[in-house]
């Protein structure tokens, strides 16, 4: 089991035992950092491996594969930023990358010009700026027909996207073997594909509401009546949050430290409790919601109007900065 401790800017450890919240927050930050690193290139949600000498020296490709495996097993987010090309290779299948997979814009334009050649003369002219590159890639050969043009483009794309990063790819695979993850990926590729390749999936108010178990006071009590009114405010707040693409993610992160439901789910299940006057030394009526990400719990104050509930919840979300340094 991983235990994560965050510290403030002075290096002082934050109080509390890691029961899941700090770990999820750390793994979320880790996956974001890996996705933005120089080890990957391409579109935001469809990245291929890049060739980075610093990462090779530091064996970062292995470390990133290991980190992804650990995140999947220990309740962190999935790395759903990889291209279908990379995933196919990871699970032992063949891959056929497209011209658009070339992340180097200058190279992309030159290869695109080759692909658009309509005569052998145009093909030779468009090939000239890439002679050195073609020689290094093992693609330099005479063009005798336009069919040779298509083969040349295919060979360039295969070299740029796959063959030149074989070293990083092998180390990345070694890292993914941690805890048996790569083995399971190859046994169950269809189950793992949505975790590694981006698929549009927005949180909905109903989905978030279903995640939380609501702990109500005994039926018929005065506390129960006040709590049931706040439950309607909570559900109305979730419906309003659907208007903004990231607000539901912020609400989930406020309660759990995660912006998405982990592949293995939450443990313990997220819950909602209520703050009554006199509870936990509250001598006056509390006005802001409180969260304990270690146990995935939100505690809601008992406001009597939706507008006040919304105002105070918005303030709580806007002034929660997460954890410090890890």
Query: 292-311, pLDDT tens digit by residue?
Result: 887 889 999 999 899 999 99
Q: Which is more confident, 273 or 25?
A: 273
The CA distances from residue 272 to 117, 118, 247, in Å, are: 63, 66, 18
Orientation angle between helical segments 146-161 and 120-127, nearest 10 degrees: 30
Look at residue 192 in the predicted model and tell me its pLDDT: 95
Give the C-alpha separation, 140 to 10, whole Å: 58
Look at residue 88 in the predicted model and tell me its pLDDT: 97
Give me the helices (H) in the chain, please. 21-36, 53-57, 60-73, 84-90, 105-115, 120-127, 131-137, 146-161, 166-176, 181-187, 189-196, 205-211, 222-241, 247-256, 306-318
State yes or no: pLDDT of 8 exceeds 70. Answer: no
Residue 257's pLDDT band (cuts 50, 70, 90): confident
The CA distances from residue 104 to 40, 43, 109, 161, 162, in Å, are: 12, 11, 9, 10, 14
Give the C-alpha separation, 286 to 300, whole Å: 9
Residue 9's pLDDT band (cuts 50, 70, 90): low
Give the C-alpha separation, 33 to 26, whole Å: 11
**Residue 304 contacts residue 311 (beta carbons within 8 Å):** no
Q: Quick check: helix, strand or coil at residue 110?
A: helix
Look at residue 324 in the predicted model and tell me its pLDDT: 41
Query: 173-194, pLDDT tens digit by residue?
Result: 999 999 999 999 999 999 999 9
Query: 77-111, pLDDT tens digit by residue?
Result: 899 999 999 999 999 999 999 999 999 999 999 99
State yes or no: pLDDT of 18 exceeds 80. Answer: no
Report the candidate in 316, 317, 268 with the shortest Cα–Cα distance to residue 24.
268
Q: Which is more confident, 101 or 20?
A: 101
Query: 107-128, pLDDT tens digit by residue?
Result: 999 999 999 999 999 999 999 9
Tokens of 282: 């509250």
Query: 228-248, pLDDT tens digit by residue?
Result: 999 999 999 999 998 876 899
Look at residue 245 in the predicted model and tell me its pLDDT: 64
Look at residue 307 in the predicted model and tell me its pLDDT: 94
Give the C-alpha separation, 169 to 61, whole Å: 8
State yes or no: pLDDT of 325 exceeds 80. Answer: no
Look at residue 62 in the predicted model and tell me its pLDDT: 98
Give the C-alpha separation, 49 to 43, whole Å: 12
**Residue 72 contacts residue 89 (beta carbons within 8 Å):** no
Residues 158-172 have a mean pLDDT of: 96
> Among 94-103, 197-206, 222-231, which stretch is predicted with the lowest mean pLDDT?
197-206
State yes or no: pLDDT of 17 exceeds 60. Answer: no
State yes or no: pLDDT of 2 exceeds 90. Answer: no
């Amino acid at each position: 089991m991983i235990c994560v401790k965050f510290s403030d800017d002075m290096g002082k450890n934050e109080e509390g035992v890691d029961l899941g919240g700090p770990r999820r927050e750390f793994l979320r930050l880790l996956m974001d950092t890996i996705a933005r690193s120089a080890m990957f290139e391409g579109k935001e949600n469809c990245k291929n491996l890049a060739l980075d000498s610093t990462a090779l020296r530091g064996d970062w490709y292995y470390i990133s594969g290991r980190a992804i495996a650990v995140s999947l097993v220990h309740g962190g987010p999935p790395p759903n930023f990889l291209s279908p090309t990379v995933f196919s290779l990871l699970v032992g299948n063949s891959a056929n990358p497209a011209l658009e997979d070339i992340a180097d814009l200058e190279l992309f334009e030159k290869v695109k010009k080759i692909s658009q050649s309509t005569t052998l003369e145009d093909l030779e002219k468009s090939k000239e700026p890439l002679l050195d590159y073609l020689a290094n890639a093992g693609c330099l050969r005479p063009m005798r027909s336009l069919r040779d043009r298509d083969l040349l483009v295919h060979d360039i794309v295969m070299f740029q996207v796959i063959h030149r990063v074989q070293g990083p790819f092998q180390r990345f695979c070694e890292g993914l073997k941690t805890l048996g993850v790569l083995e399971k990926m190859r046994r169950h590729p269809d189950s793992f594909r949505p975790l590694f390749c981006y698929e549009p999936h927005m949180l909905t108010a109903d989905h978030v509401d279903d995640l939380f178990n609501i702990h109500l006071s005994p039926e018929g009590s005065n506390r129960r009546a006040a709590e049931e009114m706040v439950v309607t405010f909570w559900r109305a707040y979730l419906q309003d949050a659907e208007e903004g693409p990231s607000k539901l993610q912020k609400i989930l992160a406020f309660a759990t430290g995660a912006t998405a439901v982990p592949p293995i789910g939450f443990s313990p299940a997220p819950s909602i409790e209520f703050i009554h006057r006199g509870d936990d030394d509250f001598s006056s009526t509390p006005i802001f919601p409180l969260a304990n990400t270690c146990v995935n719990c939100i505690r809601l104050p008992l406001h009597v109007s939706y507008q006040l509930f919304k105002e105070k919840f918005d303030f709580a979300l806007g002034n929660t900065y997460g954890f410090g340094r890890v």
